[in-house]
Amino acid sequence: MEADTSILDAAVVGAGWAGLGVSHALSQAGLRHCVLERGRIGETWRTQRWDSFRMNTPNRVTVMPGDHYEGADPEGFLTRDGFVALLEQFAARNRLPIRTGSPVTELVQDEESGGYRLATPDGTLRARNVIIASGSLNRPRRPAVADALPPGLIQVDASDYRNPAALPVGAVLVVGSGQSGGQIAEDLVLAGRRVYLATSRIRRFPRRYRGQDIVQWLLQAGWMDVPRRDFVEPSGRIPPRPLLGAVHTISLQSLSAQGVVLLGRFTGVADSVRLTFANDLPDNMTFADEASDKLKRKIDDFIAQNGLQAPAAEPDPAEIVAPRLPNPLIRSLAPTGQGITTVIWCTGFEGDYHWVRLPGVLDARGQPVHEESVANLPGIYFAGLDFAVTRRSGTIMAIAEEARRVVQHITARRP
């Protein structure tokens, strides 16, 4: 293909929900643009989610800009493949200009035009504005201690886990008890695998409360719209999203009752062969229980203050079940002794922006520097970033508003 020398109004990098949502808003504003996608539409969802994966946002709110859920199961949860189909249909229905199989290998300033150049294996594109929607949660993060694990243990990231049968025979150690860790541990134990779970200090939300899905309450009570400045810690850290089971509540006690062996936080390797764990399992369990109780009290207050009709609270089986904790608690174990063959790291994700070669746009860790998705170079934007503006940011429930805002910004700076 010849290099494309015409200058587009905008180029969007990535065809996940963020890139597609922005493309839709650009089309509506009549801006000439192109979406460059390294793989297929929804590539992250196709290749980085396990087979039994379900969205944890209910169908009612798992919708793209301008769409409304019209199916028969508003409180249900889409499967991985169902969600990819939703994205594909949205792109086709809106005739979005997407080039799949087109990875951006370099994004640089274009001195000549004052815009930007995007290199792909098929040629170079120029655009006045670039929206980076390449995903802020699609490169797994492993703790440094992973390098010290005894050789012979298979190490897998949550994004590479597919199903229990795809792992080697033997017990599995899942590290991290957030959304991915909790759901993967349950997937494994339900398949009859022996599972150890190194827990973390992370909140838990129940799936439903007082007659409706928890996400519905979070939206209704304005919790999802709390601005970033109100929950970012002084260190700049943002507490991770709580453990929330897709479809039903998952708690440390429900996993334990199902047979998962709970451990404290994974701290390292002793004598080259023994894996060690902190003494914090009871604290981690209490912390999660308290977070769930606190949220429920907030919802109760919201219901009372607004005079809403809602059924009385009912106990959630996953929250009241008695755990079967190891006694004494396990502080160290030798993988070979316990038959552990695989470690699955569920220790978080970040974005892969190695191809962005622009001054001041990434921080020392290679992650976005931005103010409400606007980078500090004119015409450079991010979309889909977790917690960019509010708690809703980074979920599909944010994209309609985010896309509108980014496109308004672009239109306002048009010559």
Ligand X SMILES: Cc1cc2nc3c(=O)[nH]c(=O)nc-3n(C[C@H](O)[C@H](O)[C@H](O)COP(=O)(O)OP(=O)(O)OC[C@H]3O[C@@H](n4cnc5c(N)ncnc54)[C@H](O)[C@@H]3O)c2cc1C
Q: Which of 23, 52, 138, 251 binds ligand X (CB under 6 A)?
A: 138
Overall size of the chain counted in residues: 415
Phi, psi dihedrals of residue 132, rounded to the nearest 5°: -90, 105
Q: Which is nearer to ligand X, 264 or 384 (CB)?
A: 384
CB of 103: closest distance to ligand X in angstroms?
4
Binding characters for ligand X, 238-267, by CB under 6 A (x = yes) = ------------------------------
Give rounded-to-5 percent helix, strand, coil for the chain: 30, 20, 50
Q: Which of 223, 277, 349, 381 binds ligand X (CB under 6 A)?
A: 349
Q: Which is nearer to ligand X, 104 or 261 (CB)?
A: 104
Question: Which residues are bridge partners to 382 per DSSP?
Answer: 132
Q: Which is nearer to ligand X, 4 or 283 (CB)?
A: 4
CB of 97: closest distance to ligand X in angstroms?
14
Question: Which two tokens mark 161?
Answer: 């886990």
CA nearest to 258, candidates 195, 344, 333: 195
Kindly identify the residues of this chain, within the stretch 310-339, that bind ligand X according to CB under 6 A. none
* Nearest-angstrom CA–CA distance, 277 and 330: 7
Q: Which is nearer to ligand X, 104 or 389 (CB)?
A: 104
39 in contact with ligand X (CB under 6 A): yes
Q: Which of 58, 76, 115, 135 binds ligand X (CB under 6 A)?
A: 135
116 in contact with ligand X (CB under 6 A): no
CA nearest to 285, candidates 182, 173, 172: 182
Question: Which two tokens mark 346?
Answer: 């569920």
* Nearest-angstrom CA–CA distance, 252 and 228: 28
Q: Which of 31, 130, 131, 133 binds ligand X (CB under 6 A)?
A: 133
Three-state secondary structure call for residue 368: strand
Q: Which is nearer to ligand X, 335 or 394 (CB)?
A: 394
* Nearest-angstrom CA–CA distance, 69 and 293: 31
395 in contact with ligand X (CB under 6 A): yes
Of the ranges 127-135, 144-152, 221-229, 405-413, which one interacts with ligand X (CB under 6 A)?
127-135
* Nearest-angstrom CA–CA distance, 187 and 258: 11
Spatial contact of 262 and 323, defined as CB atoms under 8 Å apart: yes
Kindly identify the residues of this chain, within the stretch 3-22, that bind ligand X according to CB under 6 A. 13-19
38 in contact with ligand X (CB under 6 A): yes
CB of 150: closest distance to ligand X in angstroms?
27
Q: Which is nearer to ligand X, 249 or 276 (CB)?
A: 249
Name the strands in the sheet holding 332-333, side by side, starting at the edge strand that comes first in the sequence.
266-270, 274-277, 332-333
Residue 105 Cα distances to 181, 352, 412, angstroms: 32, 12, 29
Binding characters for ligand X, 353-372, by CB under 6 A (x = yes) = --x-----------------
Q: Which is nearer to ligand X, 224 or 285 (CB)?
A: 224
Binding characters for ligand X, 49-88, by CB under 6 A (x = yes) = ------xxx-------------------------------
Size of interface with ligand X, in residues (CB under 6 A): 30
Q: Which is nearer to ligand X, 43 or 187 (CB)?
A: 43
Q: CB neighbours of 85 closer than 8 A, spacing ≥ 6? A: none
Question: Which two tokens mark 175?
Answer: 């590290």
- Render the burial of 146-175: b for 16+ CB within 10 Å, e for the rest: beebeeebeebbbbebeebeebeebbbbbb
Of the ranges 131-139, 141-149, 265-273, 305-313, which one interacts with ligand X (CB under 6 A)?
131-139
Of the ranges 38-46, 312-320, 331-339, 402-410, which one interacts with ligand X (CB under 6 A)?
38-46
43 in contact with ligand X (CB under 6 A): yes
Q: How many CB atoms lie within 10 A of CB 378?
A: 12
Q: Which is nearer to ligand X, 137 or 362 (CB)?
A: 137
180 in contact with ligand X (CB under 6 A): yes
- 135 CB-contact burial (10 Å; exposed 0-12 / middle 13-18 / buried 19+): buried
Q: What's the CA angle centered on 115, arms 111 and 118, to 5 degrees?
A: 95
Of the ranges 65-73, 221-229, 231-239, 393-401, which one interacts with ligand X (CB under 6 A)?
393-401
CB of 1: closest distance to ligand X in angstroms?
16
Q: Which residues bind ligand X (CB under 6 A)?
A: 13-19, 36-39, 43-44, 55-57, 103-104, 133-135, 137-138, 180, 349, 355, 384, 394-396
